[in-house]
A and B are shown apart, each in its own frame.
Chain A
Amino acid sequence: MQQLLQDTLATAPLGVTILLSLVVILLHSFVKNSERAQAMVSVAGLAIAAAAAFWTFPMRGTAFSGMVMTGGYASAMSVLFIAGAALTILLARDYLGKIGADFGEFHILVLLAVTGMMAFASGLDLIVTFIGLEVMSVCLYVLAGMTRGRLEANEASLKYFLLGAFATGFFLYGIALIYGAAGTTNLAAIAQSASARAQDPLFLAGCGLLLVGFAFKVGAVPFHMWVPDVYEGAPSVVTGFMSTAAKASAFAAFMLVFIAKFDIAHGRISLALAMLSVASMVLGNVVAISQTSIKRMLAYSSIAHAGYMLIGLAAGTPAAISGVLFYLLSYLFTNIGAFGVVSIIENEKQENVSIESFAGLGTRRPLLGALMSLFLFSLVGLPPLSGFFGKYYIFYAAIAEGYTWLTIVGVLTSMISIYYYLRVVVVMYFRSDTDATAVPVTTLGTASLLLSAAGVLVFGFFPRLITDIADTLF
């Protein structure tokens, strides 16, 4: 009993989020037209969950018979997902109503997805990891198709589901093979004998299948094909959420399993990761150039960013983990902000936004233009914005591990990316608008954009705020 209480307390962020989802479900079932209230309750509840995460941070250890990780890494990652969910819910208030999809289910699904993410990123048993992955994924499949009336949304949702299920099959098969080799699904137990099994083809094949499952979720080439279609078809705020929080949880679980626990990221797997990284950076950045839709452009950019973070995984040192964590955080604020701006423009233009729809934004909407520029500059990785330090820490760790060639590819492809990011800035400031119908942005939307911008700036100016924490994760 004592133990149960302790375990429950140590996993408080997860518990609070589950309770919160239940409260919102009840609110949705019994109070009519309570969408706004649900949003507010969700954000308030997420704040409590965040507080719980801070409170549990020092409780580094395991809970529920070694099934989940507590404190440190798990808490830090929880904060990331919570922040992503809260910003998404705030931004969605204006957006969903205008596209005719202001369903209360939205909040419930986002919250349940967050619980899945937390389990995914803190599971110390492959079964927990898998359950977390599925809870998150199923929520996202539905979220992608929220706008039932739109054909592209249905297509996105279905494609995501089909391919997701396909990848899940590999993931599960990988778990089965590892279980066959090691006789357990507990990560700690597997890790103990991992080095002895470094040549065992059964074990290695299991790891390979698992890797494919993760690579699908983070959207790495060649498992990226779903990304552009789904990101484009899903509602913009959902895309923002998928490309940040969901990607962060996939990376968090990826790092937990492969680096922190298996510690087999060296050698062959490291090489495979490096290859995926190169393919993602090159393909993501190159194809982004020829995109005309801003959401597709950002989708390819998201593939490229997965490539940068994979550099960190290939390096596989504690410094690299802390670098990837910084990157995830920076990317979370930057990309939610960017998709937030996109969603506002989408409402304004009532169409799928092309890059040309941003024409004249800089003069028509000075604040939005400036914020979008800030986000794009951070995506490029210009100092002193947080995007710069994300890349910097990862590259630094990679060079220390001898991955200089990988870093060179990273830097070169970043240079390519300047072209397509800054093209948006050019369109915003040097092209005049053809039809200007300014839809007023509510204070809520502005506030969440400003919050994202604050994240981009603060972590750019004071990167130590994060790196100091990132050094005490385990």
Chain B
Amino acid sequence: MHHYVGLIVLFPLIGLIVNGLFGRHIRSERVVGWIGSLAVGIPFLVAAAILYGMLGSPVEERSNTVTLFTWIAAGSFQVNAAYQVDQLSILMTLIVTGVGFLIHVYSIGYMHGDRGFWRFFTYLNLFIFAMLNLVLADNYVLMFLGWEGVGLCSYLLIGFWYEKKFAGTSITWTGDAANKAFWVNRIGDFAFMLGMFLIFREFGSLTFSTVMDSASSLAPGNSTMFWITLLLFIGATGKSAQIPLFVWLPDAMAGPTPVSALIHAATMVTAGVYMVARNSLLYALAPDTMMIVAVIGALTAIVAASIGLAQNDIKKVLAYSTVSQLGYMFLALGVGAFTAGIFHVMTHAFFKACLFLGSGSVIHAMHEEQDIRKMGGLAPVMPKTYYTFLISSFAIAGFPPLSGFFSKDEILWSAFSQGSVLLWAVGALAALMTAFYMFRMVTLTFLGTPRWAKDKHPHESPPTMTIPLIVLAFLAVTGGFLGIPAALGGGNALHHWLHPVFERALDRLPTAHEYSHMTEYLFMLVSVVIGVSGFWFGRKIYLANPDADDTFAAKAGGVFRTLSRKYYIDEGYMRGIVNPLVATSDRFLSRVVDTALIDGFVNGLAKVTASFSGVLRLVQTGVVQSYASMIVVGLLLVLGLILLG
């Protein structure tokens, strides 16, 4: 079945070409929307068929490479346009196409009436195409192509409503937000490239399987591996919004909400997690980087969650929540729980996509209002949105037996059993905050008395929007059953499925300390208590007093302001990095180096060349005799060179 992997990538390409070339002439939004959606839905079916084929074959035959053509060949260096179909990439493909399809369908309703309707679907298909290349690539170069491709789509879609204002730190337009995302990602992408160059220098190949085969003979603690993995991880901090490069993601909310759901929650931002997991063997050989990954992950989880406590824009809360959840995933990778990280990628895709789409439904109903302080009492008006949002909130807060419980609990347990108590404590505190801000948001948005103006008439969204919500909510409930831990009598199917991919990496990690099931139950209980108390406090405080934030601000003004201003990180970057950089560029690099030195040199050279050119053309007299004599001169020179040289 894996031979059909080309089809998975082909359909989004077709969709993008059809909508991109002819979309503007297609009158019917439905046709454009369904072309775009099917271009993602059909690959999902193909991927499902491939998965079915893999399930039916023995473990050792589940990983296959399908080469389409040789892309670059120069001497010993060869890069193929080839796809690696294995347990990990097919899982990611299913997430990307499955969740992607639902979000495409949702967009038909959400983008209704937008004059860039066809453009939107073209970009979305381009995104899916790039993302599939990223997860299916069998080498770093093709992966990087996808990596840059999704970055481009992210840029195009954040700035989709390029005429709209958007407020942020030093940001006034959606275009600024798009630029910010692009620039911050450049830092990470540059590190990714350096990592790639180092890999090529070290292994002489950029194909995953070749690199991993050569790496498996290395001993842990190799310093080159440290730099390779660190550089790749810096790449991941850009794309997956980790400290210190996470600042672009909250501003990326300037894009249409389906984009936030698809790109900035469910798929693209998890590319970094996937990339680290794909290189798990290299990371296992660099224990120091693993430690850095774990610490950065835990820090990001708690910093972002704490910022989320004090945000009032419904999408901003979700954005910080995404950053925080991505932190969990890196925490898992850092302690060597690769499966747990990927497991959380999957469950997070379900519940966070549902939450974002739900927020889109709310924003739609409230006529582009995003401030949760001006909402309230929406539950009876839009019950489908409310219940799906509520279910997903329970999932992210870690209520058993919803999906978030299993994946988050596995991460926290691994943080303790394979990492340290400190990592666990940070993760657990972040989990408490998560549950709190989620139910603060649910309460302020849907419960209590309406605080919106009388002229607004919120309504439930059309079925193209609510059906994806229901499907995603269903997945948010059931998605965790793939990974029920042994302690709860489950088989942890996902763990077994992915084990061959991570086997070589896990062999090189120190074996985890064995704890009894009793200890594990205790930690689970703590997780549940954390989730429930976050829920209880969040709900109680804000139901009783929707303006409770004012009370906090009055009592602990400094802390509250720091949180709501996001620790002044953006301001710090502006003052510490951006402004000095701009000043240096303007005053020194631009005026002195560029204008005076480089331009002077280049223009001078151009002038010399041009005047040279003007003189030389005079030789071209148009007189045949002089041409013939030139031939004779040339002949003498050639003969002289040959006979006397």
A interface, CB within 8 angstroms of B: 159, 162-163, 166-167, 170, 201, 204-205, 207-209, 211-212, 215-216, 221-223, 225-226, 228-229, 268-269, 271-272, 275-276, 283, 286-291, 392, 396, 416, 419, 462, 464, 467
Contact = CB atoms under 8 A, between A and B. Distances in A.
Given A163-B628, A170-B635, A286 B612 contact: yes
Closest 5 CB pairs of A and B: A222-B634, A225-B627, A290-B613, A272-B641, A208-B639
Nearest to B69: A462
B73 interface: yes
Contacts of B486: none
Contacts of A276: 638
Interface residues of B, number: 31
B643 interface: yes
Contact of A205 (B69, B74, B639): B639
Given A201-B643, A222-B633, A286-B612, 9 more contacts: A162-B624, A163-B628, A166-B631, A205-B639, A211-B642, A212-B635, A222-B637, A268-B641, A396-B74
Nearest to A222: B634
Contacts of A170: 631, 635
Contact of A275 (B73, B626, B641): B641
B635 A287 contact: no
B638 A212 contact: yes
A175 to B, nearest CB: 15
A208 B642 contact: yes
Contact of A212 (B609, B614, B624, B631): B631
Contacts of B69: 462, 464
A286 B613 contact: yes
Nearest to B609: A286
Contact of A271 (B609, B627, B635, B645): B645
Contact of A166 (B613, B628, B633, B643): B628
Interface stretch (B14-22, B31-39, B615-623): B615-623
A276 B75 CA distance: 28
Contacts of A392: 74
B323 to A, nearest CB: 36
B630 interface: yes
5 contacts: A166-B628, A226-B627, A268-B642, A289-B609, A464-B73
Nearest to B629: A225
A contact face: mostly helix, strand, loop, or mixed: helix
B218 interface: no
Contacts of A419: 606
B49 interface: no
A460 to B, nearest CB: 12
Contacts of B642: 204-205, 207-208, 211, 268-269, 272
A291 B630 CA distance: 21
A191 to B, nearest CB: 18
A112 B637 CA distance: 35
Interface string B587-600: 00000000000000
A276 B643 CA distance: 16
- Indicate the member of B612, B617, B628 with the most A CB atoms within 10 Å: B617
Contacts of A291: 617
Contacts of A271: 641, 645
Contacts of A272: 638, 641-642, 645
A225 B617 contact: no
A290 B617 contact: yes
B70 interface: yes
A388 B151 CA distance: 26
B610 interface: yes
B645 A212 contact: no
A419 B607 CA distance: 13
A286 B616 contact: yes
B619 to A, nearest CB: 8
A205 B624 contact: no
A208 B630 contact: no
A290 B627 contact: no
A172 to B, nearest CB: 14
Nearest to B634: A222
Contacts of A225: 620, 626-627, 630-631
A209 B635 contact: yes
A228 B620 contact: yes
Nearest to A163: B627
Contact of A222 (B75, B606, B630, B645): B630
A205 B644 CA distance: 11
B616 A204 contact: no
Nearest to A396: B74
B631 A208 contact: no
A425 B610 CA distance: 19
A283 B606 CA distance: 15
A228 B633 CA distance: 19
A289 B630 CA distance: 22
B631 A163 contact: yes
B160 to A, nearest CB: 24
Contacts of B74: 392, 396
B643 A205 contact: yes
A209 B643 CA distance: 12
